[in-house]
Structure 1
């Protein structure tokens, strides 16, 4: 359903779908192969002719049906991709394509590139959410409402206090995400065992550092082929953000219920309409923000299981990342999109809040 034309906008943002699309992912693999060859050429390992030939290959020249068939046969997409790249550069230069590399080098580096782009989108959307909450705090400096504990009326409080608690929690989530990015967005250059043993002349470390610089990524030593804590930290941070969004959206929906009626989402003709009860104005933004955030948080919990590699590589857990990581990014973007719509359209009924104080 995440790919349905009808439904995809309900679960993810357009920008995030582009980052994790099949086309963007394959293009990232190609870019990693091209950057690897260019970096190796600078170190004198690959002739410049191979670099020029590889740079002339784009996704438009890829036989995607053949790639799908190779994937079904091999169980890894890079084998088929490399085969087509080698055909493109010609027999004399073919051996310099994917030189000293392995499938996980290419896919992990591309994953890091996509996570970096995805996190930039998340932080931008989160900043908009922070902006909206800050505006609500300024707009309602002295608005009073009844506080509620354990589902019961407690004592009066300021509405701004509720907003400030949410704001500070979101800012803490932002800090955790930025810290996780520093620990999880790395280039992967190591070869079959991750230890650069294919580079007998000792140039492996130089290649890794130059690749990282070229792609704007960090360097992990000795490698992260079977150390997935960085990926897990990023996914877990997104799951925690989803938990906060879920809580905020759930509370907004409660406050907008007919029995409380202290806030509501901005009404426009047809929004939140019921097919059978025409008097209703269902609060769709808070509803979807809560639902999608719940899914993002729940999906993120699977990443811990996927860190349990055996020995130097374990496909049984690595393959699971291919699904879980993109889905958490997609669902996080959807939750943020709905939350931004919810708060930017939020209307506070100060009279209703005063009435509930009586």
Structure 2
């Protein structure tokens, strides 16, 4: 009966928590794995972990006994976020509230808790530990996206389709070539994440203004021992806080990644329009409209676009946190409580949505072929111009002449090949067979296959060098 009561009580608590939720990141967006990293319980646990690492470092100098550390560890397990909140409401400082609770529950064993440290030694070092796990989770998902894209690029390497610039038919490309451009962009984001990880996953244990004054001449040794215990490298120097440039760099890098996802999602949205209909989201069984039964909406792509807007908006606030007064002020604190958790949960949802989108893409081969011929061969105008130039015509004159031919295509409704076969000047340069070859989209793809291979090789190298 007691177990049953506890289960009912837990379910009731969860229900109340859901009813009290305000931010969609609490229940709608982001994976449970990422949400846990930024939960209040995990942040408290990680901050306590840093405090205990400091005690262990102090124990090497005879200030703290091993049995005292064990008592502190045991006592700290009983501290709940709500208790920290309650004490903070009285004393006005969240880290001090945690420290007081640790010390009071540890008795005499807790006399050296937080000795020589300042609040942001604990906060920023805890962030470093959380960032390490969060960035690697992001990288893991980026790698999954890259692997799916590589598979699609290889599969559709030779599927010829319309290449578009300014929304207009430009030159033929292949679907594999299109996807490979995204492979390159996403691999560059993976590079950026690898780089920012080296700059932001660093601990800070240097006291009130960064000089380590409270530890006398053993400050560097204290720092070294704390970082060794936590598996971190230290910042070379700091003020009261770790430099905020890396925080802004992280927000910027995540926003770039979100924007790349947004670009791919926008591609899908455009190519899913009924008048184009080359690529579609897999939407079987999904309701597109509450009133229009026929609708198949690109809602996954649109969600990616919407969330990317929010993430990009966080960049300015993160940049604003770089200029702090002197050795620090508190203007970064409140905004970072929003920015840091939100940027990771938003990018997490975007990446999960990208994976879902890629795994369920539908390719409409018939429409790809139809659209390739939609402009009746005008997509091959550059090929004709280049070949005229190679035959001896000046390039600018060839451009002007082919422009007139494409105008005739639009006026008459004939194909460019038909117009060329009726043009005496063109026939003085080329035979019918030569024109058929010149105006065949499959013959005007340049070095697409080598470019695909080169880019995939590049991406695989970045993946191999990424620590997850």
TM-score (norm 2): 0.72
What does residue 30 of structure 2 align with?
A: 12
What does residue 147 of structure 1 align with?
A: 163
Quickly say closer, same or farther: Cα 1:235–1:43, change in 2 above 3 A: farther
What does residue 44 of structure 1 align with?
A: 62
Quickly say closer, same or farther: Cα 1:7–1:70, change in 2 above 3 A: closer
What does residue 321 of structure 1 align with?
A: 336
What does residue 220 of structure 1 align with?
A: 235
Q: Give yes or no for contact 2:265–2:301 (8 Å, CA) kept in 1.
A: yes
Q: Give yes or no for contact 1:226–1:312 (8 Å, CA) kept in 2.
A: no
Q: Give yes or no for contact 1:166–1:248 (8 Å, CA) kept in 2.
A: yes
Q: Does 2:84 align with 1:77?
A: no
Provide the C-alpha distance between the structure 2 equivalents of 1:64 and 1:333, rounded to a whole number of angstroms: 25
Deviations 1:142-165 (A, max 9, x none): 111111111222222111111111
Provide the C-alpha distance between the structure 2 equivalents of 1:56 and 1:192, rounded to a whole number of angstroms: 28
Quickly say closer, same or farther: Cα 1:56–1:335, change in 2 above 3 A: same
Q: Give yes or no for contact 1:37–1:96 (8 Å, CA) kept in 2.
A: yes
Q: 1:44-123 residue pairs with structure 2 within 5 A?
A: 44-59=62-77, 61-90=78-107, 92-123=108-139
* Greater shift in the superposed pair: 50-59 or 113-122: 50-59
What does residue 371 of structure 2 align with?
A: 356
For the residue of structure 2 that corresponds to 1:190, the secondary structure is: coil
Superposed CA RMSD in Å reads: 2.0
What does residue 172 of structure 1 align with?
A: 188
* Greater shift in the superposed pair: 102-111 or 312-321: 312-321
What does residue 163 of structure 1 align with?
A: 179
Provide the C-alpha distance between the structure 1 equivalents of 2:235 and 2:106, rounded to a whole number of angstroms: 31
CA shift at 1:48, angstroms? 2.0
Q: Please state which structure has a larger fraction of its residues in helix.
A: 2
For the residue of structure 1 that corresponds to 2:164, the secondary structure is: strand
What does residue 323 of structure 2 align with?
A: 308
Quickly say closer, same or farther: Cα 1:344–1:355, change in 2 above 3 A: same
What does residue 244 of structure 1 align with?
A: 260
**Aligned match for 2:277, one of 250, 257, 261:** 261
Provide the C-alpha distance between the structure 2 equivalents of 1:4 and 1:342, rounded to a whole number of angstroms: 27
Quickly say closer, same or farther: Cα 1:274–1:7, change in 2 above 3 A: farther
Deviations 1:57-113 (A, max 9, x none): 344x115433212223444311111111111110x2332111111211111111111
CA shift at 1:167, angstroms? 0.5
For the residue of structure 2 that corresponds to 1:31, the secondary structure is: helix
CA shift at 1:10, angstroms? 4.3
What does residue 209 of structure 2 align with?
A: 193
Provide the C-alpha distance between the structure 2 equivalents of 1:6 and 1:236, rounded to a whole number of angstroms: 22
Provide the C-alpha distance between the structure 2 equivalents of 1:144 and 1:152, rounded to a whole number of angstroms: 16
Provide the C-alpha distance between the structure 1 equivalents of 2:92 and 2:152, rounded to a whole number of angstroms: 51
What does residue 203 of structure 1 align with?
A: 218
CA shift at 1:7, angstroms? 6.6
Provide the C-alpha distance between the structure 1 equivalents of 2:42 and 2:242, rounded to a whole number of angstroms: 25
Provide the C-alpha distance between the structure 2 equivalents of 1:335 and 1:234, rounded to a whole number of angstroms: 16
Provide the C-alpha distance between the structure 2 equivalents of 1:130 and 1:226, rounded to a whole number of angstroms: 33
User: What is the aligned length?
Assistant: 354
Q: Give yes or no for contact 2:164–2:171 (8 Å, CA) kept in 1.
A: yes
CA shift at 1:330, angstroms? 1.1
Between Structure 1 and Structure 2, whose CA radius of gyration is higher?
2
For the residue of structure 2 that corresponds to 1:355, the secondary structure is: helix
Provide the C-alpha distance between the structure 2 equivalents of 1:212 and 1:235, rounded to a whole number of angstroms: 25
Quickly say closer, same or farther: Cα 1:232–1:74, change in 2 above 3 A: farther
